[in-house]
Structure 1
Amino acid sequence: MAGARRTPACDNHLDELAISIQRRFEGLSPPSDCCIFTVPERLRRQNEEAYTPRVVAIGPYYHLDSSFMQIEDHKLRYLQNFLQENQNYRLRDYIEKVKSWEDDARNCYDKQIDLDSDEFTKMMLLDGIFVIQLFLMHCSRRSKLPNDRIFGKPWMFDDVCRDMVLLENQIPFFVIERLLKIAFDSHQQLMVELVGWFFKMVTRRPASVMESEVKHLLHAISLTFLSSVRRTPNESNEKLKFTPSAMELVAAGVKLRRRESECLFDIEFEKGVLNIPYLTLDDTTESYFRNIMAFEQCYCPNKYLTDYMDFVHHLVDTPGDAELLINKGIIENWLSNKEAVARVINALGKENILSEHYYFHSLSDKLIKHCQRPHNKWKATFKRNYCSSPWVVISVIAAGVLLLLTIAQTVFSALSLA
C-alpha cells in the first residue's frame, strides 16, 4: 500500500535483489562486433526458402542439420587433397592455428554457438578449406577430384554458389584469409583473384576493389555495390515521397532509357529522360538480393541495395510497368513472364527499413515534381494521340491546313462583302 513503512525484511529483500543484479554485471563481456546474423523474422516470413541453404552448410547455424551430412564427407576429401598439395604444414598445424582463432570467430555470430571447442575448430577448418578448394578448383589452380560431386553436376555447383551467399551460412572472412596465408606466400594477390572470381560468378558483374575490411563472403559481395555510389546519401529532412510508377512517368512525358552502366545505382534523370542501368532477374536474384538486404538491415548504416529495391519496387507497381521496362531493355527477364517480374520486385520491396538518408531521395523528388506539372501531361497526351505515327502527323497537319484555309476563305468573303 502507498505510504506504508518498509520493514527490515523488505529492505533485506531489496538488498539481495540489488546484489543479484550486480553479480550479473560481473559476468557481462563487452559487446562483440558480430557480423553474421540470423535473418530477422519479419524478413524471413516473406520467403523463408530464400534464406535457407539447399545443399551445403557453411558455419554453425546449419552445422547439425541432417540435410547436409552427405557433403561433410566431401569436405573431408577437399581437406585431404589440400594437405596433399600443400605439404609444408601438417594437419595438426592447421588445427592449432584455427583453435587459436576460436574466440574471435565465435564473437562474429549474433547468438551463442552450442558447439564445444573441438567441434567448433573442426567445423571452421573444414568449411574454410572447402571454400578455398572450391575457388582454386574453379579457377583451374587446382585439379578437380575424380567424380567430384560438385563440379560433376552443374546444378550442384550452382546451388553451392547460391548457398555461399546466404547471411546465415557464413564463416568469418579472416579464417579463409589466414588459412590462405599459411598455405601460400602470395595470399593477398591470390585472395583478390579468388574473391574477384566469386564476385563475377555470383553477381555476373565485374569485381570491384575492396576498400574496407571484409567480414565474410556475403559482405564482400555487398561491397561491390559501393563502387556504384556516385553521390553522398541524402541529408534532407523532408518527408520521403514515393517514386511514380513507370506507366505514370511515361504518361507525364518521361522517356525511359536503358543506360549502359555496370552500376545498378547509376540512375539519372535529365531533360525528361530517366536513364536506368539494366537489371537481370533470374531464379537466383531474389535469394541473392534478399540476403544482401538482410545483412544491410542488421549491420550497415547506409542501406544502398535496400534503397535501390525500394525505388524499383515503386517503379514496377503492376505487370504493365514490368512489361514496359522489359520492352525498353531495362529489365532483362529470365523469369517466366511479366507477372513473375512484378511479383519478385514487389516482394523484395516489402518489410524493409530504408536508410535514414534515403539514397534516391533527390531523384524521386525530381520525378515527382515533373509529374505534377500539368503541361508535361498535356504535352505527353498530345504526342501520344496526335504524333504516334507519320500518317497521324500528316493527318493532323492536313487538318490544320484545311482549318487555316477555311478561316482564310471566310475572312476574304467577309472583306469582299464589306
Structure 2
Amino acid sequence: MENNGGRPTAPGPQRNRSADNHVSINIENLNLAFSVQEKLMSLPTLSSECCIFRVPEKLRHSHKEAYMPRVVAIGPYHRHSQSVMQMEDHKLRYLQSFLGHNQNCRLEDYIKRIRSWEDRARSYYDKQIDLSSDEFTEMMLLDGIFAIQLFLMYWNLEGTPNSDRIFGKPWMLNDVRRDMMLLENQMPFFAIEGLFEMALGSHQRHTPVLLELTYGFFMPGVKMEEVPEAVMESEVKHFLDAIRLSYLPSAKKAPYDINEEVKLIPSVTELVAAGVKLKRGKSNRLFDIGFNNGVLEIPRLSLYHTTESYFRNLIAFEQIYYQGNSYLIDYIVFMDHLVNTPADSKMLIDLGIIENWLGNEDAAADLINSFCKDTFLWTRNAYFYSLRHELVAYCQRPYNKWKTSLKRDYCSSPWVVLSIMTAVVLLTLTVVQTACSLLSLK
C-alpha cells in the first residue's frame, strides 16, 4: 500500500443526492402503502344483515336523552353506562329463575348455541364490538333470557311477585319498556327467538309465540289476537323493527315518480277555512287517514311524555335502514304540515284527534313540529301522496272558499241566520209590492 505521508487521501466520487432522495421517498411510500394495507385488511366487512345502528349525530345533538337508556342496557352499545349497572344483577336473577322453571336445556346448552350464532349476531351491529367471544356470548345470554323472562312475567302478571324490582314498581316497568324500544339498545331477534324455542319450543301449547309476547309487552292494552299480519309474517330484525312493522298499512301503494312534486298541505286552520271538516277516525291504525266528500278522518294520536323518544327512534331507524319504505316518516311529515301553530293542535285536541298528555296545546305543537327537523322524506314512497293532492285541490276550488266564507260571515249564529232570513223576506215583499204597484198603473 502506498504511504501518503499522513496527507489526507483525495475524496472518492460524490454520491448522487437526487438518487438518495429517490430511494428515501420510495421507502416512505412502501411504508405508507403497508400501513394502509394493514388498515384495509382489518376493516370490518359491511354485512347485509346490519340493522342495529348508532343514531346519527345530526339527529342526536339536540335530543340526546331520547336515544339513551335510563335503567337497562340491551346489547353492547350502552352496557357500561352508569345508569344501567344496577339492572345487571337483576338479569342474573331472571336467568336463575328461567333456568329453574325451564329445565329442558342446561345452561351449557344455551351457551353453546349462542356461541354458534356469534358471527351472525355481531354482523347485526354497525360498529365493531370490542368484546371477547366469552364476553359477547355472556351478554347475549343475559340480555336474551332477560327479555324472554320479562315477557313471560308480563303475560302472567298474576304470578309475578310484588317484590320484583321491575313489576313491583310501575314506573320502572315503563322505563324498561321505553329503553327496550331504543335503536341503540337492541339485540338480534333471531337469537332471542332461538333461546325461546330451546326452552319452550315443545311446550308452547299454553304459551303464546314470542312475537305475540313481544307485541303484548310493547303494545299494552292490545289483544294478542290483534297482532298484525305484517309482524307475524315478517323476518323481524329486533324489537324496534317489530314495533315499526305493527304500524305499517296493510295495503302498500306503488311508488311515485321521483320527479313528481309532493304537495305541501295546508294547516288545520287553513283546511277548515277552506271548508274541510275534520273528524276523528274510528280506526286505531295511524295510517287509516281518509278524505271523502270534504271530510278528513284522522285516527287518534296519543301524545305522552315517552312519545318523543318512541317516535324519534322509529324515525332514526327508518331514515337509516328503510329509506325506500319510510312510511312512519311520511306520517310524521303529514302531521307536521297539519300542525303549524298551537291553534292547530288545539283544534285537533278539541276534536279528540290528538290525545294530549303533555299539558297544553303549545307543547303538543312543539313536539310534532320538532320530529321533522333534520329528517329526510323519501318522496318515491310517500304514502299520503294522493291524499296531499286531493286536499290541496279541494282547498283551491273557489266554490268551497265562497261557501265557507258565507257560513262563517253570515251563518255564525241562529240570530244572524234569522236576521238574514227576515231581510230576504222583507226584500221579497218589497219587490212583490213594487211589481203590483207597477201593474196597477197600466
TM-score w.r.t. the length of structure 1 is 0.92
Moved more, 338-347 or 140-149: 140-149
How many positions carry a matched residue from both structures?
A: 415
- What residue number does 1:168 align with? 184
- What residue number does 1:4 align with? none
Counterpart AA for 1:378? W
Counterpart Cα distance in 2 of 1:204 and 1:56: 26
Q: Is the 8 A contact 1:83 1:91 kept in 2?
A: yes
Residue from 300, 303, 327 that aligns with 1:278: 300
Residue from 370, 373, 385 that aligns with 1:347: 370
Could you report, residue by residue, the CA deviation over 1:172-213 in whole angstroms, capped at 9, with x for unpaired residues?
Answer: 101110101111124695213312312422989943132221
Residue from 411, 420, 430 that aligns with 1:396: 420
- What residue number does 1:123 align with? 139
Q: Is the 8 A contact 1:136 1:142 kept in 2?
A: no
Counterpart AA for 2:281? R
- What residue number does 1:105 align with? 121
Residue from 29, 34, 37 that aligns with 2:50: 34
- What residue number does 2:98 align with? 82
RMSD over aligned Cα atoms:
2.6
Q: Is the 8 A contact 1:172 1:216 kept in 2?
A: yes
SS of alignment partner, residue 337 of structure 2? helix
Q: Is the 8 A contact 2:249 2:287 kept in 1?
A: no
2:237 paired with 1:222: no
C-alpha deviation, 1:407, in angstroms: 2.3
Moved more, 354-363 or 76-85: 354-363
Residue from 204, 212, 236 that aligns with 2:234: 212
C-alpha deviation, 1:232, in angstroms: 3.3
Superposition map of 1:253-292 within 5 A? 253-292=275-314
Identity %: 56
- What residue number does 1:374 align with? 398
2:335 paired with 1:312: yes
Could you report, residue by residue, the CA deviation over 1:125-151 in whole angstroms, capped at 9, with x for unpaired residues?
Answer: 111110000000111189435611100
C-alpha deviation, 1:27, in angstroms: 4.6
Counterpart AA for 1:264? L
Counterpart Cα distance in 2 of 1:25 and 1:37: 22
Moved more, 250-259 or 40-49: 40-49
Q: Is the 8 A contact 1:256 1:275 kept in 2?
A: yes
Q: Is the 8 A contact 2:262 2:385 kept in 1?
A: yes
Counterpart AA for 1:387? C
- What residue number does 1:384 align with? 408
Moved more, 219-228 or 133-142: 133-142
Q: Is the 8 A contact 2:267 2:339 kept in 1?
A: yes
2:374 paired with 1:337: no
Greater gyration radius: 2
Distance 1:344 1:49, change over 3 A: same
Counterpart Cα distance in 2 of 1:355 and 1:66: 38
Counterpart AA for 2:295? V
Q: Is the 8 A contact 2:53 2:184 kept in 1?
A: yes
SS of alignment partner, residue 257 of structure 1? strand
Q: Is the 8 A contact 2:279 2:298 kept in 1?
A: yes
Counterpart AA for 2:363? A
2:212 paired with 1:193: yes
Distance 1:204 1:361, change over 3 A: farther
- What residue number does 1:46 align with? 62
Distance 1:234 1:262, change over 3 A: farther
Counterpart Cα distance in 2 of 1:408 and 1:247: 43
- What residue number does 1:3 align with? none
Q: Is the 8 A contact 1:228 1:266 kept in 2?
A: no
Unmatched tracts of structure 1, length 5 or more: 1-6
Distance 1:23 1:42, change over 3 A: closer
Counterpart Cα distance in 2 of 1:142 and 1:328: 38
TM-score w.r.t. the length of structure 2 is 0.87
Distance 1:141 1:388, change over 3 A: closer
Distance 1:153 1:339, change over 3 A: same
Counterpart AA for 1:408? V
- What residue number does 1:178 align with? 194
Distance 1:261 1:232, change over 3 A: farther
Unmatched tracts of structure 2, length 5 or more: 1-20
